[in-house]
Amino acid sequence: MTTSTMEGAGHGPTRPRTIRITVNRQPVDLLGREVTGLEVKQAAIAQGVAIKMNFQLSAKHGDHYKVIGDTDSITVHENEEFLAVAPDDNS
């Protein structure tokens, strides 16, 4: 018998790819591309970024930032930049 004609059958789901982003200029690794704003903040905190869960998260798009809510689902890209600021920071 030669190689199977059903390549990939029975191998289960593939492992999520690690995506490196930055939050407040610090590297953060995420498992998979589909995440929520809350998951980005949780990963950043777990990896030592000095933010809190109540910080407002924004994604950089060109020369401006788009606010990402905790329940917003987003697709992240390698080296994408995020900014997390305290709710009372008006910068």
Per-position DSSP letters for the chain, written without gaps between them? --S-SSTTTTS-PPPPPEEEEEETTEEEEEESSEEEHHHHHHHHHHTT-S--TTSEEEEEETTEEEEE-TT-EEE--TT-EEEEE-TT---
State the pLDDT at residue 53. Answer: 97
Q: Does the pLDDT of residue 33 top 80, yes or no?
A: yes
Give mean pLDDT, residues 1-17.
Answer: 56
**CATH dotted code for 18-85:** 3.10.20
Q: In this structure, are strands 64-68 and 81-85 parallel, antiparallel, or unpaired? A: unpaired
pTM for this predicted structure = 0.80
